Structure 1
Amino acid sequence: RAGEAGARASFAAYLDRLGRGVAHVVNILDPDVVVIGGGLSRVPELIGGLPAATAPHVFSDRFDTPIRESLHGDASGVRGAAWLWDAE
């Protein structure tokens, strides 16, 4: 965010690769929504830039699938583990 060139290049490469990965999921499963969880779901530049990084790689002339951050963000895994603890 401070504009350091190496960090910006790393983020751009990560965003491109994640966009390609999301495009594979969209191409195969055609989901109604893509939910990004974990700590990176709290990075607004990631959520905001992911649709544009995904669109060129989908097998369609348009990409309308919404990409959202997880409701519980980086705590989603912990919440799921807590639910499993009580399941038995």
Structure 2
Amino acid sequence: QTLARYERRLAKALAQVVNILDPQVIVLGGGLSNIERLYDRVPRLWAAHVFSDVIRTRLLRNVHGDSSGVRGAAWLWSEN
């Protein structure tokens, strides 16, 4: 039940991102991104909350593991 509640809440939150930004892709990061069922269920759930008949946004797993966000932040660091 807890995981199903998390999926519903994540779907609602990501639907707002889709509504505002209309991204091509949303990439999940962090430890919970390792839950395989999110990538199937969340897009099906967000459809009810997106204000469009056509949703092209894809939900993808990160490529570099659950520390991808930290890796990206490190790349933004400037020595200047």
Q: Give the TM-score band, short-chain normalised.
A: 0.7 to 0.9
Larger radius of gyration: 1
DSSP 3-state at the match of 1:49: helix
Residues 3-32 of structure 1 deviation map (CA, whole Å, 9 limit, x = unaligned): xxxxxx111111000000000000001111
Q: Which runs of 5+ in 2 are unaligned?
A: none
Q: Distance in 2 between matches of 1:71 and 1:51?
A: 19
Q: Which runs of 5+ in 1 are unaligned?
A: 1-8
Normalised by the length of structure 1, the TM-score is 0.78
DSSP 3-state at the match of 1:56: helix
Normalised by the length of structure 2, the TM-score is 0.85
1:27 corresponds to which of 19, 22, 26: 19
- Number of paired residues? 79
Structure having the higher helix fraction is 1
Q: Which has the higher contact order (CA 8 A, sep 6+)?
A: 2
Confirm or deny: 8 A CA contact 1:42 1:74 kept in the other structure: yes
Q: Distance in 2 between matches of 1:81 and 1:34?
A: 17
